Structures are given as C-alpha cells and as structure tokens.
Amino acid sequence: RMPVSVPGTDRRQRASAAFFLSFLSLVFSVTAFGSSYWCEGTRKVAKPFCTGQSKGDHCIRFNSPDSNNSNAVQYIWETGDDKFVDRKFHAGIWYSCEEIINGKGEKCRSFISLAPASDQGVLWLSIVAELLYNILLLTGVVLMSVKMCYYSTVIDGLKINAFSAVVTVLAGLLGMVAHMMYTTVFQMTVNLGPEDWRPHTWDYGWSYCLAWASFACCMAAAVTTINKYTKTILEFKHKRKTLERSLKIKYKFPDH
C-alpha cells in the first residue's frame, strides 16, 4: 500500500523548512554585513630601514656599523624585489584593515573614504540596499514564526503566506543588487583607489561567499513559501470541486 501524506503535516513541514531557510539567510547576511572579509589579498610595500637591534626580512639592513650617523656612507644590501614586502589586508563594506609590518595588530580605515568619488554614491546605495535586505529578511522571519506559532484560520494563514512570500522575494532581489553593486565598487577602487591602498593580489573572502549563501537561502525560502501557498490553494479548489460534485449528485437523486 502506498503511503499517504497528511496535508496538515506536509504544510507544517514546509512552513518549518521556509522558516529555517529564512532564519539562516538572516544570520548569514548580518554576519557578512558586519565583517570586513569580503575581499582579502596582499599589498607590496617598501621595507622600512632597520633600527636598533631589529633584523630579519621585514626591514632593510645596512653594512655601516654606525647607521645612526648621518655623515656615514650607508650601503643597502637589498636590491630589486628584495626592497619590498607583502602586507596582508582585508576589506569589507565599512572598513579596510592591513597588518602592521614591524608590530602587532592591524591598521584600519574607512572603505567609504577609499572608494573613488565617482563611485561613492553607488557604494552608499549598496549599503542602503543591504540594510533593506536585512530588514525584509527579519520581517519574513517574523511572519513565518507567527504562522507557525499562531494557530489561526486557514484563510489567515494563506494571507500570511502570501505576504511573507512577497517580502522574501523582494529581499532576495535587493540582496542580489546590493552584492553586485559592492563588487563593482570594489573593483573600481582596486583600479582607481589611493596609491597607498591598491592591492597587488586579491580575491573574494569568506564574508563575500557568506553573503551569496544568504541570497541562495533567501530564494530557497521564497520558493518553498510560494510552493506551500500554491499547494494550499490547489487543495482548496479540489475540495470545492468535490463538494460541488457531491451536491449535484445529491440534488439529482434526492432521497425519498
């Protein structure tokens, strides 16, 4: 005998799946939005002069014993690429940080100030779109949690499903536009940004992947919600046709 799925149980499973995907999308998006690892890479910077007892590959050494004497002739051993060192950096929507060569920690500055003046408007649009994306995701999560916890009538549930589906789809579109705008601004900053920031090598970081994973979960939640809404409507139409057919038969052959 073929197993028969219970409509109520199937609807609850779909509602749980949509809520889980929306919540996961919100967590991913908030984490990526607040981090500074959308892009990572290295910058090629000139080595500083070795001072005091400092030695190693991160500073330029002299062959003069009296390196503090300005009258002494100082010869630099390093030539060509040996004069440069790779400094790691990572950048996000809000700020960009790079490591300090002769010390511990990082030096950070606003990424908005690094972007070219002609692209700062696009960057602000990207930030606004990301904020709206998170707000719409939160709205969708709240609506889906209300649908799961508040046992209302079927009609009210359909209204909540329809509204949450629209909100989730709009959130996904805004997220896609925001991510693409930031990608464009970063690439323009790499080419036209300040000389003391332009990276030598770079690639997208884990925050960038997390942002697109959030978009994928958001669209999956939207598809699940729309599917649940459509299936409920079809079940109503089927029950209505069955009821009409039974009424026609009843009135055509009335009981005596």
In this prediction, residues 169-193 reach a mean pLDDT of 92
What percent of the chain stands above pLDDT 70? 66
d(Cα 217, Cα 219) in Å, to the nearest integer?
Answer: 6
Sheet strand arrangement including 201-204: 106-110, 95-99, 84-91, 39-46, 201-204
Is the pLDDT confidence value at 80 over 70? no
Cβ(143)–Cβ(159) under 8 Å?
no
pLDDT attached to residue 249: 67
Give me the phi and psi of 91, to 5 degrees please.
-135, 150
Domains of the chain: 10-35+116-237 (1.20.140.150)
Sign of CA dihedral 91, 97, 102, 104: negative
**Residue 181: pLDDT over 70:** yes
Which position has the higher pLDDT, 172 or 243? 172
Q: Which of 3, 4, 2, 12 is nearest to 231 (CA)?
A: 12
Tens digits of per-residue pLDDT, 38-65?
999 888 776 665 665 555 555 655 554 5
Q: Is 230's pLDDT higher than 60? A: yes
Candidate from 54-68, 163-177, 187-201, 234-248 with smallest mean pLDDT: 54-68
> What is the pTM assigned to this prediction?
0.75
Tokens found for residue 214 = 């959030």
